[in-house]
Amino acid sequence: MTILVTGGAGFIGSNFVLDWLAERDEPVVNLDKLTYAGNPRNLGSLERDSRHVLVVGDIGDTRLVPILLERHRPRAIVNLAAESHVDRSIHGPDHFVQTNIIGTYHLLQSACAYWSALSGTERDRFRFLHVSTDEVYGSLDPDDVAFSENHPYAPNSPYAASKAASDHLVRAWGHTYGLPVLTTNCSNNYGPFQFPEKLIPLCIHNALAGKPLPIYGDGRQIRDWLYVKDHCNAIRLVLESGQVGETYNVGGNSEHANLEVVRTLCRLLNDMMPRANGATYQELIAFVSDRPGHDRRYAIDSGKLRRELDWRPMETFDSGIGKTLEWYLANQDWVAEVTSGAYRDWVKTQYGR
Ligand code: NAD
Ligand code: TYD
């Protein structure tokens, strides 16, 4: 048996592929367009592992995807490919509409055609798992209860709107064509291999370079934070035991204001890597203009996943953030490469494009 993972060279995708192959022997075909966010180096430890094949391509490629499905006959598709950064979606929503909406539409069509031609056990066991975000639910007030799976969709950013649209397409393909779909909506992830455009890796990178740590607005916006490996465990569990047609919220039960997150990072860095000039990292915190339409609070109720599939996060925010910092400190060459753009040259050399 084989699974097809899309976006498996990105942050969550590469953690998912690495964990999958560490946990089981089932091969992975990894379809990734290698945008700025995709980095084959994340999968360097699999270079000689015949269970992993990286295919450079687009989920919306209606020629390539059917060929891949026919050739590898996966028992499941795990769709992680997306444009994922809210700020980029504000500056240029085009790619978000293209990949997250139209790309998902084409992927669903390809999956549906493949699945429809299956029979017997192959057809019964096939699953299409779509990985989505809590941002589709919009913003909460301080005293509101956390998002459940029944919370109405109210996306506020172009990113969130494009993910919401993709969730609706997935739901409709399940409802209308009977494609066996599953959807997960997860809160903010952090951990190894996260591109240093997102809050936590950006602040680690800037802090080590002695650059300002930019806090949007008053820094009191709240996110729920989940260590990436816990998200990967949840995806595996939903794939194995989730009920077809259902959606599952995934969260860390770990709400923190942005300013608190950055101050925690600074405190840890003061101990782990004291600044040469004797100053504290907190002194680098700089308040900057707020993000337009900035959602105030996300909070996720993952009770359904806990009750039905017995999932719970293994890491607390303290343990996860400690591991994350250690990873970034030990992998400064990775950070240097992705921030210098050199890794794209490596991709051209390696894949000849
Ligand atoms: P990422 O930006 O780090 O990685 C996305 C990957 O998708 C990259 O490898 C990129 O090359 C690839 N990709 C982009 N467009 C593609 C296309 N058209 N065809 C094939 N591959 C393409 O994103 P991430 O943070 O790893 O997020 C993965 C998924 O999880 C996304 O769907 C995102 O919406 C969702 N999600 C992310 C978070 C989070 O906190 N990062 C939280 C909840 C859900
Ligand atoms: P981000 O990591 O971009 O994730 P998302 O927008 O998907 O939640 O941002 C997390 C929070 O941190 C969000 O409230 C925006 C804020 N933020 C800053 O304050 N400064 C920054 O430089 C960045 C990138 C984010």
pLDDT in tens, 66-118: 999 999 999 999 999 999 999 999 989 999 999 999 999 999 999 999 999 99
With respect to residue 45, please indicate whether it lies within any of the assigned structural domains. Answer: yes
Would you state the pLDDT for residue 351? Answer: 32
Q: Could you tell me the two tokens for 313?
A: 């996060």
Q: What is the enclosing helix (H) or strand (E) of 259?
A: helix 258-272
**Residue 90's domain spans which residues?**
3-189+227-253+293-314
Please report the pLDDT score of residue 176 as a whole number: 98
CA of 195 to the centre of ligand 1 (A): 11
> Is 188's C-beta closer than 6 angstroms to any atom of ligand 2?
yes
* Residue identifier of the C-alpha nearest atom 44 of ligand 1: 133
User: What is d(CA 345, CA 8) in angstroms, rounded to the nearest whole number?
Assistant: 19
pLDDT tens for 253-276 read 999 999 999 999 999 999 999 999
Distance 185 CA to ligand 1 centre (A): 13
Strands (E), 211-350: 213-216, 222-227, 247-250, 255-257, 285-288
Q: How far is CA 282 from CA 56, 84, 113, 278, 287, in A?
A: 41, 28, 54, 12, 12
- Which of 34, 80, 223, 347 has most ligand 1 atoms within 8 Å of CB, for mutation? 80
Return the pLDDT at 349. Answer: 60
Query: Residue 133 sits in a domain of what CATH number?
Result: 3.40.50.720
- Let me know if residue 352 belongs to a domain: no
Q: Name the residue with higher pLDDT: 110 or 343.
A: 110
| 159 is a catalytic site residue | yes
Which strands make up the sheet holding 188-190, listed edge to edge?
188-190, 222-227, 255-257
- Answer yes or no: is 152 within a domain: yes
Q: Cα dihedral sign for 198, 3, 53, 63?
A: negative
Determine contact, residues 181/245, Cβ cutoff 8 Å: yes
Which atom number of ligand 2 is nearest to the Cα of residue 159?
Answer: 7
Q: Is residue 334 part of a domain?
A: no
If you measure from the C-alpha of residue 240 to the centroid of ligand 1, how many angstroms do you get, rounded to a whole number? 22
Dihedral in degrees, nearest 10, Cα atoms 109, 111, 115, 116 = 10
User: Ligand 2: which of 226, 258, 296 to mutate, most ligand atoms within 8 Å of CB?
Assistant: 258
Q: Give percent of the chain above pLDDT 70.
A: 97
Q: Mean pLDDT throughout 291-309?
A: 98
Residue 69 resides in a domain: yes
Ligand 1: residues with CB < 6 A are 6-7, 9-13, 31-35, 37-38, 58-60, 80-84, 99, 103, 131-133, 163, 186, 188-189, 195
Count the neighbouring beta carbons within 10 Å of the beta carbon of residue 68.
20
Q: 209: Cβ–Cβ under 8 A, 6 or more apart, which residues?
A: none
- Ligand closest to 298 (CA) is 2
Q: Which atom of ligand 2 is nearest to the CA of 84?
A: 7
Q: In this predicted structure, what is the pLDDT of residue 344? A: 46
- Is 71 part of any domain? yes
- Over range 306-312, report the average pLDDT: 98
User: Could you tell me the distance, in angstroms and rounded to a whole number, from the CA of residue 198 to the centre of ligand 2?
Assistant: 6
pLDDT band of 129, cuts 50, 70, 90: very high
Percent of the chain past pLDDT 90, that is, above it, reads 95
Asked if residue 241 is part of any domain, the answer here is yes
Catalytic pick among 134, 167, 255, 295? 134
* Dist. CA 66–CA 102, nearest whole Å: 16
Total domains in the chain come to 1
Active-site residue flag, 141: no
**Atom number in ligand 1 closest to CA 58:** 19
150 inside domain:
yes
* Weakest-pLDDT range from 210-214, 246-250, 314-318, 346-350: 346-350
